[in-house]
Amino acid sequence: MITKEATPAAPAPARVAPEPPRPAKHRRSWDEVPRWQIYLPLSVYLLFTLIPFYWILLFALRPAGSTSLVPWPVTFDHFEKVWTERDFGTYFGNSVLVGVATLVMTTVVALAGGYALARFDFKIKRGFMLALLCSQFVPGALLLVPLFEIFANIQMINSLGSVIIAETVFQLPLSMILISNFIKNVPYSLEEAAWVDGCNRMRAFRVVVLPLLRPGLIAVGSFAFVHSWNHFLFALMFLNNPDKQTIPVGLNTLMSADSVDLGALAAGGIIAAVPVVIVFAFIQKWLITGFSAGAVKG
């Protein structure tokens, strides 16, 4: 092997070589980057990214009090404890309910609004678009007091409904803008062709447009789910009843205890991460397309 690579130094074969690999020139403009310039910074950054993940796994899996840097022997005591004693089982159920309900409401409402924005010209359209954009600057955190009062007035404090509504409302504007961009990318003529074939608007939308929106809807729906799953402040403010709380609030309770049970905290954190990891593993391939289709270029 080695000798073979060493010998072509002989001029004859080298002279022949440069002629045929013309297409290699195209590739070279991308391949030119020396490998170490890719792998070195990437590895350094991955250390920064992965050590924290390893750290929480370590704490969750090794026995309490251990200072070993390898989680061995593995124990699941922390998970059991946090799931039953610290009520993470209940929190998990609540979080799933909030996440799924937010996902469904956001997607359905944004789909209807997004369709109107993409396909119709109507009087208040410009104003409505402007309102959507402006609402991006309205921080949910700063509206806690009036929102609390509203939910108190309609008797929804301590009901998961309040969190679902609040999460949906703050997800809506961006979701609607994204979805209307996705719909704009579907040629109107496709829909019109379906009308000619005798479909009404609703059916044409369902049969022709909806299947093409799948990647976009999956992206928007997953964002809605993950955001509401992760979001903390609304649940903290609107849900006082322990059996109504969500996972992030549970984590905060664990953290703000006088002496933090690190093992339980780590196990709780992993429980909080699992659904998100699953969702993202599932949507990974749609993520970039979904983004480039609508998010940035508008």
d(CA 298, CA 293): 8
CA distances from 101 to 76, 82, 113, 229, 247 (A): 31, 25, 18, 11, 16
72 binds another protein (CB under 8 A): no
Taking the CA atoms of residue 200, residue 121, residue 110 and residue 137 in that order, the dihedral angle to the nearest 10 degrees is: 180
* Residue 217 interacts with another protein (CB under 8 A): yes or no: no
Interaction of residue 291 with another protein, rule CB under 8 A:
yes
| Contact assessment for residue 271 and residue 82, using Cβ atoms and an 8 Å cutoff | yes
Which of residues 6, 16, 19, 122 is near another protein by CB under 8 A?
122
Binding mask of the shown chain, residues 85 to 104, with x at each position contacting another protein by CB under 8 A: --------------------
- Determine if 160 is a binding residue for another protein (CB under 8 A): no
Binds another protein (CB under 8 A): choice among 89, 139, 187, 242: 139
207 forms part of the interface with another protein (CB under 8 A)? no
Shortest spacing between CB 280 and another protein, in angstroms: 5
Is 286 among the residues that bind another protein (CB under 8 A)?
A: no
Q: What's the distance, Cα to Cα, between the start and end of the chain in Å?
A: 54
C-alpha closest to that of 60 among 252, 278, 265, 258: 265
Q: Hey, which residues between 1 and 20 contact another protein (CB under 8 A)?
A: none
By CB under 8 A, which span of 1-9, 16-24, 75-83, 255-263 interacts with another protein? 255-263
Q: Which structure tokens are listed for 131?
A: 């309102």
